[in-house]
Structure 1
Amino acid sequence: MNFVGYYRLPPVRGVFFSPAQEERLLLLGCQEVFSDRCLAGGVVRSGLDRALTALEPGGVLAVPSLHALAGAMVDLLDVVRRLRALNLDLVVVQPPIDTRSDAGFFEACQILAT
């Protein structure tokens, strides 16, 4: 696959997926959407792992927001590192970020990581 979506859900009792976020990513053109649920003890990111595995090199991971991708800066930098290692791009709906046309976001994250 070349274009998949991903989002994290907050720890809200009884909420296991977000139709609004899923629909938003599908309307963006995602072929498949993966998600993870935040738990009190942290986030098990098996959905992110499945999303990255589903993508071919040169593919795109789309997320509704940076918070839907990672809850902390260290987690965000880790995901960006993984995307770069797999030769994948990132599209964020809000704020608008698209590393296919402007790699500045990746470069900024690399500076922060060092």
Structure 2
Amino acid sequence: MGLIGYARISTIEGAQVLDRQLDALNAAGCERIFEDRASGAKAERPGLSACLDFLRKDDVLVVLDLDRLGRLAGELITLIDQLAARGVAFRALNAPMDTTTPTGRAFLQIQAAFAEMERNIIRQRVNEGLIAARARGRKGGRPRIMTADKLRYAKHLMADRARPIPEICKELGEIRPSTLYHYLHADGSLKTAGRDLLENARKEESGT
């Protein structure tokens, strides 16, 4: 059984991020490591293509984090299923994601299903909110620019570093970039205003 590593950084991530992955993959015993400098949503990743061509039956493809291999759950499952059909297993070092074990395989399927469901629910809520806001117009007061559901959806959109901010703002209902950055950092992590908005929404939903 050969351990074959794959490391990826986006075009805006630094060398330290790649070094961290390489160190972990080497420590795990990978005999060869392939690299890419591209977005996880980008179809053309020559390093990954070369890695997939190199893999042989009984090999194990190893990554540090699951999102290094890809961001879309459906595509991840398809890729891992294709590897399994070739007799190649998959392992993510920072998660119980080891398809050489039944538990790891089940965890992958469950996590991917919940991730897809969460994205779909958030997208549906945002769309419903936008439709309701447009129907109300300005009657009953000015609608809130950023809602908790819209903020959660924004976090998902910003996780794809290759997606332009103007495109994200348009999908969120033509909000301003300054409004987006009031709640989120450039990497999609929450600022104080974002944390406060989600906490207040949680209290409203729970009635506390």
TM range (shorter): 0.7 to 0.9
Q: How far did residue 19 of structure 1 move?
A: 1.3
Aligned-residue offset at 1:68: 0.7
Distance 2:46 2:21 in 1: 18
Q: In the alignment, is residue 45 of structure 1 matched against residue 20 of structure 2? A: no
- TM-score when scaled to structure 2? 0.45
Please give the residue correspondences for 1:10-29 in structure 2 after superposition, counting only pairs within 5 Å. 10-12=10-12, 15=15, 18-29=18-29
**Deviations along 1:44-92, whole A, 9 cap, x unmatched?**
2221121122222011000111101112223312321321222100111
Partner amino acid, structure 2, of 1:104: A
Question: Does structure 1 residue 104 correspond to structure 2 residue 106?
Answer: yes
Identical residues among aligned pairs (%) = 27
| 8 Å Cα contact 1:4-1:60 kept in structure 2 | yes
- Unaligned 5+ segments in structure 2 are 115-208
4+ long deviations beyond 4 Å: 105-109
Q: Secondary structure at the match of 1:18?
A: helix
Q: Secondary structure at the match of 2:38?
A: strand
Residues 14 and 53 of structure 1, relative CA distance in 2, 3 Å threshold: same
Answer 1 or 2: which has greater strand percent: 1
Residues 90 and 97, structure 1, Cα contact 8 Å, conserved in 2: yes
**C-alpha contact (below 8 Å) 1:8/1:38 kept by paired residues:** yes
Residues 36 and 47, structure 2, Cα contact 8 Å, conserved in 1: yes
**Count of aligned positions:** 110
| TM value normalised by structure 1 | 0.77
Structure 1: segments with no counterpart, 5+ residues: none
Instruction: Provide the residue aligned with 2:54 in structure 1.
Output: 54
Assess if the C-alpha contact under 8 Å between 2:77 and 2:109 holds in 1: no
Partner of 1:7: 7
Higher helix share: 2
Aligned to 2:68: 68
For the aligned residues, what is the CA RMSD? 2.8
Paired with 1:71 and 1:31, the residues of 2 have a C-alpha distance of: 25
Larger radius of gyration: 2
CA separation of 1:56 and 1:8: change in aligned 2, threshold 3 A: same
